[in-house]
């Protein structure tokens, strides 16, 4: 496997309303999110292998992007936010735990949910398993904001407590190249103009290369 394309689901009704959806039922893509997902189809037309979180908004994104038979992988699921699920972000930001979520997520355990480290370990593990299934062919993975940021942080070998520095908007693509000795992150939170990042690199260029 050379390339893994990480797609965050399109904008959901919860995103639009400022709600922490988590694993709640009944959260679908809104009209804008459906358009975002459909717009990915042309970008991903040459990709044959697809995997998705079991949560509806990811499965909807995968289907609209041209992958109605994407393989469901439980390890790609959203973080279990426990009692925070369904809460308004504006209200959750007033909770004492919010500051720790932002500054030191490695120590966070959501009440009634999972730790953020557990989320990181299962999502990173799921992607590593996917990488091992294929040889020399790209795969697309449909998942969620925090899982994708955790996967990117691991590929970048940056401390998990810094993963909030990454920005992965709804409907965006991030690309990791696993073809070399170490993963190379080729794109973070990009748009549908991201296709050139799907081509494996041949090592770092002295001086950074052109363009």
pLDDT per position in the chain (211 positions), as tens?
589 999 999 999 999 999 999 999 999 999 999 999 999 999 999 999 999 999 999 999 999 999 999 999 999 999 999 999 999 999 999 999 999 999 999 999 999 999 999 999 999 999 999 999 877 789 999 999 999 999 999 999 999 999 999 999 999 999 999 988 999 999 999 986 565 555 665 443 334 333 4
- Residue 144 DSSP one-character state: -
The phi and psi torsions of 25 (rounded to 5 degrees) equal -75, 160
Q: Which two tokens stand for residue 91?
A: 């209200």
What confidence tens digit (pLDDT) does each residue in 115-148 have?
Answer: 999 999 999 999 999 999 877 789 999 999 999 9
Rounded Cα distance, 143 and 74, in Å: 10
Superfamily, domain 3-197: Phosphoglycerate mutase-like (3.40.50.1240)
CA distances from 3 to 32, 68, 79, 111, 112 (A): 28, 21, 24, 36, 36
Contacts of 78 (CB under 8 A, 6+ apart): 21, 22, 23, 53, 55, 143, 144, 146, 147
């Amino acid at each position: 496997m050379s390339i893994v394309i990480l797609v965050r689901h399109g904008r959901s009704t919860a995103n639009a309303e400022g709600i922490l959806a988590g694993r709640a039922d009944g959260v679908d893509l809104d009209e804008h999110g459906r358009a975002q997902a459909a717009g990915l189809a042309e970008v991903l037309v040459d990709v044959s292998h697809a995997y998705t979180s079991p949560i509806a908004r990811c499965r909807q994104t995968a289907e609209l992007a041209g992958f109605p038979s994407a393989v469901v992988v439980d390890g790609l699921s959203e973080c279990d936010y426990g009692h925070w699920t369904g809460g308004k972000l504006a209200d959750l930001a007033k909770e004492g735990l919010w500051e720790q979520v932002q500054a030191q997520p490695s120590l966070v355990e959501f009440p009634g949910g999972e730790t953020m480290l557990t989320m990181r370990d299962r999502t990173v593990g799921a992607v590593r398993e996917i990488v091992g299934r294929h040889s020399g062919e790209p795969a697309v993975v449909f998942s969620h904001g925090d899982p994708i940021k955790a996967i990117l942080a691991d590929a970048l070998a940056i401390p998990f407590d810094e993963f909030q520095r990454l920005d992965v908007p709804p409907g965006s693509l991030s690309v990791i190249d696993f073809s070399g000795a170490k993963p190379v992150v080729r794109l973070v939170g990009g748009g549908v103009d991201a296709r050139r990042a799907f081509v494996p690199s041949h090592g770092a260029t002295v001086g950074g290369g052109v363009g």
